[in-house]
Chain A
C-alpha cells in the first residue's frame, strides 16, 4: 500500500486542527486528496462507495492522528501490553493520545488499515513525532536506547509538550457537561468536571446536575403535573368520583418537599455515576487563568490550579433581572421558585417566555391568583398563532394578563413568607402607570449566559459582547482550538437539554473515538408545558412563509376535542392541530404543531417521522389509533388556503 515510515517533521501541538495547505511530504497512498494537505480526514475524504476509497478514508484518518499528536498509541482497552506502554509514557511524564480501537467507530476496519500502514500485527502501535516506533517491545527497546527521548526533544526542550493534569476538563455539571464527561471516560480519558452554583440574590442554591435537573425541566414538569392532577380531580366528579370540593386542598410544602426529594436523589445519582466512572468532580467555580489552565475555587474559597489538553465550556445560563429598584431584593426567579419554602400566594409573573407561561400556568393550576405582565408578544420565536391560543386558554381559565406594560419599581409593603409587594408598572405605548399588590413577583424575562466571569479573555475565547453567548463552528469548537462549548452558552443554538446532551456526546466521540457525526440541530422537537400543552417540530408558520413563500406551502389544520374532556364538558374546540407542507417537495411535512394534552408524547413520534422525510401522503396513508388525540393528524384535510371550517362536532 505504500511506505509506512514517516520521517520526523514535528507537528506543533499548539496548531489548530484545521491547517492551511503545507508542503506535503507525506506519502498519500490514494488520490482523494490530490495536492491538498492532509487535514482531518472526516471532512476531506470523499464519501464514495467503493472499498478502495473507504480504505483511503481510514488510512487518512489514522494518518491524521499520527500528524496531530506528538505521541500516538493505537490501543485496545482490553490489551495488557497497551496498558503497559501507556504506563511507560506516564512514567516519563509524557502525554500521549491513545485511540482505543475496540471502542472506536469502525475500529475493526481501522485496525486493518493500521496493519496495512504499519505491518504491525496487533496493538499497541506507537508513533512518536510521526515516526513509527512499533509494538510494546520495540517501544521499550527504543526507550532503553534513549531513542524516544531524542525524538521527543527534537525541537528543543521547550517544545516538549507539557504534561497536562487531565485530558479533558468540563466546566459546568449540567445536562451537556455531564453527558460529555461520562462519554469521555468510556475512551479511557482522564476527565474532571467542575460544577458550581452561585447562589441567587435571595441565597438559593442547589446540587450537581445543572438547570434542567434542579431549577428547570424536572421540577417544572412535576409541578405542572400537580396542576394537571388538580384539574383531573375537578373532572373526576363527572366520571363518578364523589367528594366535596372543600375536601380538596393543595399543600405547597408537601409538593415542594416531594419535588426537592426527587431532585436530591438525582443529584446524588450523578455524584455516584461520576465517582463510579472515575470522573473527578469538584464543587468549585472554574475560570481560565492562562493557556490550558483553569483555577477552581471551592465554597470555602480555596483555590487550585488544573491543566488540561482540552476544555468544554458548559456553564449554561441564569435568569436575568430587570435592573429596576427592588428587583433583586424582593423578586424571585425560577431559580428560587421550585424550592420556595412557603407558598407564593398571589403572584405576578413578569415575562412572556415559556418559563413565564409555564410557571404562571401551574401556579394557577394549584389554585393561586396569578397575573402575567407582558411587554409585547407571547413566546417570541414560537409560532404566533399557537402562542396566542395558549394565551387565550390561560385567560379563559382565570389567569389575568396585563399586556404592554413593564415594571419600573418593586416595593415591599409587608415582610413575611410571603410578604406583600407593590409593583409599579409603566405602559410601553404611553405614559400610563399602574400599581398592583402581590405576595410574590416572579421574574421570567430571559436568561443570560454564564460566560462573562470565567476568564475567557485570558485564553482569547470570543463571545458575543451583547448576549454573552459563545459562537462555535458546527463541531462546537470555539475560536480557540482546544476549547469547545455546548449547551445554552452556544450562540444560535436551541436551549434544550436533549440538544446539549446530544452535542456533548457526539463531540466527545469525535474527539476521542474517531467518530465524525455532528449534532443535527434541524427539526428538533420541543414542548411547552403550559396548561394547554404545545408540541412543535420544524418551521413555525411565519418562518415557513418567509422561507418558502405563501404559494409554496400548504397548511392543514383542525380543532379536536380529546375524548377525556367530553364527559366533563370542557374546552371544546380549543385543542388544535396544524401541519405545514412544502408543496414543491412532495408535500413534505416541514412544520408540526399540536395544542392539546400530552403534547410532548404526541410530538416525539412525529419528530422521528419528520426526520425520515414524512410527506402528507404518507401521513394520510397512516391509519390512526382510535380514540386518541394524535389520530387527528392522519385525517387532516382542510387547508387554511381553502378557508374551510375546522370546528369539530361529534366523534
Chain B
C-alpha cells in the first residue's frame, strides 16, 4: 500500500483531509505557499522540503502525508491566523505527526535523522 500524498491549501482543507483519514498515521508538512513557478516565499521551507521528501519512504505502511500550503507571507505573519490559533504552530516549516505532540520546527526539519526519527519511532 505504501503511503499517499495529499496536497492541500489553507486550514479548512487541511482539517477536512485530516478528518477524512482518521485512523491512519498522518504526517503533515506545513509550508509557505509556492508561486506559479513553484518557489516558496519561505526560504527554510525550500531547504527542508527535499530533506523531508528524502525520508518519506520511512513512514509506516498506509501513512498519509499531507503537504499543506499555509498561505502567503502576510497571512502567515498574522498572529491570529487559523494555524497559529488552532494548531499552535509557531513557525514554518513545521513537520508533525498529527494527533501527537511530536513535531519538528524550522531548522529541525533540515536534519534527516530527526525527520527519520519522527517517521519511524513511537
Contacts and interface: CB of A to CB of B under 8 A. Distances in A.
Contact of B114 (A261, A262, A264, A275): A275
B79 interface: no
Given A271-B121, A272-B108, A264 B113 contact: no
Interface in B64-122: 100-104, 108, 111, 113-114, 117, 121
B102 A268 contact: yes
A276 interface: yes
Nearest to A271: B117
A644 B93 CA distance: 66
Given A271-B117, A271-B121, A275-B117, A264 B111 contact: no
A275 B100 CA distance: 19
Interface in A271-290: 271-272, 275-276
B117 A264 contact: no
A271 B104 CA distance: 11
A265 interface: yes
A600 B18 CA distance: 43
Interface residues of A, number: 10
A276 B111 contact: yes
Contact of B113 (A261, A267, A268, A275): A275
Contacts of A272: 104, 108, 114, 117
Contacts of A264: 100-102
A261 B117 contact: no
SS class, residues of chain B in contact with chain A: mixed
A272 B103 CA distance: 9
B121 A261 contact: no
Contacts of A261: 101
Contacts of B117: 271-272, 275
A272 B115 CA distance: 10
Nearest to A265: B101
B61 to A, nearest CB: 18
Interface of B: 100-104, 108, 111, 113-114, 117, 121
Name which of A264, A265, A272 has the most chain B CB atoms within 10 A of its CB.
A272
Contacts of A276: 108, 111, 114
Contacts of B100: 264, 268
A272 B97 CA distance: 14
Contacts of A262: 101
A261 B88 CA distance: 13
7 contacts: A261-B101, A262-B101, A264-B100, A267-B101, A268-B103, A275-B113, A276-B114
A437 B102 CA distance: 41
Given A264-B100, A272-B104, 11 more contacts: A262-B101, A264-B101, A267-B101, A268-B100, A268-B101, A268-B103, A271-B117, A271-B121, A272-B108, A272-B117, A276-B108
Nearest to A268: B102
Contacts of B111: 276
A276 B103 CA distance: 14
**Shortest Cβ-Cβ A-B pairs, 5 listed:** A265-B101, A264-B101, A268-B102, A275-B117, A268-B101
Nearest to A272: B114
Contacts of B101: 261-262, 264-265, 267-268
Name which of B101, B103, B114, B121 has the most chain A CB atoms within 10 A of its CB.
B101
Name which of A262, A268, A271 has the most chain B CB atoms within 10 A of its CB.
A268
A262 B100 CA distance: 10
Nearest to B113: A275
A272 B100 CA distance: 15
Contacts of B114: 272, 275-276
Nearest to A299: B122
A267 B103 CA distance: 11
Nearest to B105: A272
A564 B114 CA distance: 48
A264 B97 CA distance: 12
A32 to B, nearest CB: 49
Contacts of B104: 272
Interface string A269-313: 001100110000000000000000000000000000000000000
Contacts of B102: 264, 268
A268 B111 CA distance: 15
Contacts of A267: 101
Interface in A21-50: none
A397 B111 CA distance: 53
Interface string A129-164: 000000000000000000000000000000000000
A84 B51 CA distance: 29
A275 B111 CA distance: 10
Interface string A250-273: 000000000001101101100110
B122 to A, nearest CB: 8
Contacts of B121: 271
Contacts of B103: 268
Nearest to B100: A264
A272 B121 CA distance: 11
